[in-house]
Structure 1
Amino acid sequence: MTGPEESNAKPPFRADHVGSLLRPQRLHKARQDHADGRIDAAELRGVEDEAIREVVKAQRDVGLKSATDGEFRRAYWHQDFILQLDGIRQGDATTTVRFQNADGVVEWQPAALQIAGKVGLAEPIFLDAFQHLASVAEGVTPKLTIPSPSMVHYRGGKTALDPAIYPDVEEFWNDLSAAYAAEVRALADAGCTYLQLDDTSLAYLNDEKQRAAIAERGEDAEHQHLRYIKQINAALADRPEGMAITTHLCRGNYRSSWVAEGGYDFVAEALFGELDVDGFFLEFDDHRSGGFEPLRYVPRHKRVVLGLVTTKRGELESKDDLKRRIEEATKYVDLDQLCLSPQCGFSSTVEGNALTYEDQIAKLRLIVETAAEVWG
């Protein structure tokens, strides 16, 4: 299979990846040593810096054109960012999220988020993390991943809002989008040209069970995706022209388990047609994710990164199978709009998925090699 000889200078790249990577054992040990008081914050940061330098080199060595810091400074892909926004804190209660895998159910009980004050951005979040990444990303484009604005709202919904602080919910949404817009500007000023907004909510909403749960708490489940698209667009309205922005839509990723199921059909027309991003990272690794039919709504000027390589198992996919599935996707969107990646991160939380470092590298190398054979 061959594709058009088209420049691949702008993200997302033909061979790409979502963001999080398995943490090395020495980083796990350093985090525990810091928690137990055996090393200070500066010593922990030194271990993180070196681990990030090495993981960037690993991404460059397999042939990727972009590199992340593996989210090595975070415990969770989303909460480490969200809790640094003004006005948001962990509540006293916990929520139970039921993940599932082939062996059964895995429960995760994070602290509930609470909007305890006006939402804002006192100072940029992850700015120092991006600056370190950029300093070691010679030869590749540094990519920063952050949770989308939707993630501040999805789990708690209006129950997380104090009516004494936000008597009008529109004020909350305006403040949230303004905080994100300020973050985008600060990152652009620091030289960030590749930013990804990670979003489980817009994928979860394809699952009838998730929509039923939202309706039970008194919200408009049939139109919530439209609200999220509107607020993400408001956050991105003033981004500079040279900044590529993508979004990753996932149905949950915790220790090789997931939460939601179902194709992208419910949100597809509005999502692909209205969300003002340059590309969509979509998981298509198994039947949970549905078929490629919703891709018919993708406009000509946007790219789709097909997440055909699973991060939830170590078994390596067949290159021929990947090519066959890419060809199948071209029934609904042009080949020159497509890219290839894993379906999710390898370690959305610090624990990581059930595969080895060697498995991870083999999968990234497979993606690079397959993309080279498909697109040249």
Structure 2
Amino acid sequence: MSVNPPYRADIVGSFLRPAELKAARAQAAEGGIDAAELRAVEDEQIAALVTSQASAGLPVATDGEFRRAWWHFDFFGGLDGVDIVETDHGLPFQGAQTKQLAVQVNGRIGFGDHPMLEHWRALKPLAEAAGVTPKQSIPAPTVLDFRVEPANLVAAEYASRDDYIDDLVQAYRDAIAAFYAEGCRYLQFDDTAWAYLCSETELQRARTERGIETDGLGERYRDMLNRVLADKPDDLVVTTHICRGNFRSTWISSGGYEPIAEHLFATDYDGFFLEYDSDRAGGFEPLRFLKPGEQTVVLGLVTTKSGELEEAAEIEKRIREAAEHAPLAQLALSPQCGFASTEEGNVLTEDEQWAKIRHVTDIADRVWG
């Protein structure tokens, strides 16, 4: 196993919510229990989750996103100048629609006393007691930029989408500094925007439904992220997960990584979690743009969208195929995504979820030793 993250066997971050947690969240939503009582249940369930991750052989642990309803909205809603508002449409997954919510920018964007700092403070001692590295995941700034619809850019400070970029960059620089000050050394930016740039369907939707000029978005996002990551501490690992959509085992984006690879791998991330669990992701040829000796690609070859366990020999074969385009020493393995990017979760059981995790750790042990 690699000594430093991203590890040879790693995870994206979210896990299926246990029944006790789902019941408590429902009670809290109905006023049956207060915030302190919900927090106690969350604390108990997260402690058990961290133990389970360590027991499954993972060198890393997250809080499973157990305190969130959404992988991204919960974080964005905690930023200064950003609210999550009701709208007349959800996100267009294949065969499913999410709740009808959207990002609204209604003031100057900033990072202050964000509630996820407290989430991190609770996770860190649990992971360290279990002998594993705690990992914090937050949505990437590119996601906010890609998702803001013209009608939801209402801040007097910003006449156009370009006007908030400096503040958005500074907010994320402040977020990195805040998590680092709290002892975070493994931070992940979850990102759907890059995957949408692989899909002509999603680019067309962005142009027609959100009024986004899609030409040059690869350069825009590369430059934005490199400004965010500039001057990050040398002992802080920042990775990204390029997600193709993950809601109730459905998806949004299709298309190989070739259209984005040159710009994506020119960002100053330490690692890239790439989904490779279906033909929709294309081949491994784009890995040729990986910076030699500097970055790791974590191959998401084990799907979280179903409980069926992949053949280990086939996974190992695909790792060898990827190694034809990037050094094996710069590759790793993980599930393709989280198991519950929203609180609803994917369509598989908790037993199947943990079988997937053990599958990843076992295969990584055989491949990398």
Asked if TM exceeds 0.5, the reply is yes
Structure-1 residue corresponding to 2:270: 278
Among 215, 238, 252, the alignment partner of 1:245 is 238
Structure 1 unaligned spans of 5+: 1-6
Among 142, 146, 169, the alignment partner of 2:138 is 146
Residue identity matched to 1:119 = I
Cα offsets for 1:298-354 (capped at 9, x unmatched): 111110000000000000011111100000101100100000000000000001000
Structure-1 residue corresponding to 2:108: 118
Structure-2 residue corresponding to 1:67: 61
Residue identity matched to 1:189 = A
**Residues 346-361 of structure 1: matches in 2 within 5 Å?**
346-361=339-354
Structure-1 residue corresponding to 2:207: 215
CA distance in 1, matches of 2:122, 2:86: 34
Among 231, 250, 262, the alignment partner of 1:269 is 262
Q: Does 1:176 align with 2:168?
A: yes
CA distance in 1, matches of 2:207, 2:238: 31
CA contact (8 A) 2:105 2:148 kept: no
CA contact (8 A) 1:195 1:246 kept: yes
Among 323, 331, 355, the alignment partner of 1:362 is 355
Cα offsets for 1:256-282 (capped at 9, x unmatched): 00011011111011111x211000000
CA distance in 2, matches of 1:84, 1:60: 30
CA contact (8 A) 1:146 1:196 kept: yes
Q: Does 1:127 align with 2:121?
A: no
Q: Does 1:322 align with 2:315?
A: yes
CA contact (8 A) 1:125 1:183 kept: no
Cα offset, 1:164, TM superposition? 3.2
SS in 2 for 1:42: helix
Among 288, 298, 305, the alignment partner of 2:290 is 298
SS in 1 for 2:325: coil
Residue identity matched to 2:279 = H
Residue identity matched to 1:61 = S
SS in 1 for 2:147: coil
Cα offset, 1:41, TM superposition? 0.6
Residue identity matched to 2:307 = G
CA distance in 1, matches of 2:352, 2:336: 15
Residue identity matched to 1:371 = A
Cα offset, 1:373, TM superposition? 0.4
Of all paired residues, the percent bearing the same amino acid is 47
Query: Structure 1 pair 168/31, CA: closer, same or farther in 2 (3 Å)?
Result: closer
CA distance in 2, matches of 1:324, 1:147: 32
Structure-2 residue corresponding to 1:4: none
CA distance in 2, matches of 1:219, 1:351: 30
SS in 2 for 1:239: coil
CA contact (8 A) 2:60 2:135 kept: yes
SS in 2 for 1:362: helix
Structure-2 residue corresponding to 1:28: 22
CA distance in 1, matches of 2:28, 2:161: 40
Residue identity matched to 1:266 = P
Deviates more, 1:125-134 or 1:42-51: 125-134
Task: Please give the TM-score of this superposition, normalised by the length of structure 2.
Answer: 0.96
Task: Please give the TM-score of this superposition, normalised by the length of structure 1.
Answer: 0.94
Cα offset, 1:158, TM superposition? 4.5
Q: Does 1:185 align with 2:215?
A: no
Cα offset, 1:163, TM superposition? 6.7
Q: Across the two proteins, how many residue pairs are aligned to each other?
A: 365
Query: Structure 1 pair 218/111, CA: closer, same or farther in 2 (3 Å)?
Result: closer
Q: Does 1:98 align with 2:92?
A: yes
Residue identity matched to 2:296 = R
Cα offset, 1:204, TM superposition? 1.1
Report the RMSD for the aligned CA atoms in angstroms: 1.4
Cα offsets for 1:73-107 (capped at 9, x unmatched): 0000000000111111133423332211xxxx111
Structure 2 unaligned spans of 5+: none
CA distance in 1, matches of 2:183, 2:105: 31
Among 107, 126, 139, the alignment partner of 1:136 is 126
Among 197, 208, 211, the alignment partner of 2:189 is 197
CA distance in 2, matches of 1:125, 1:225: 31
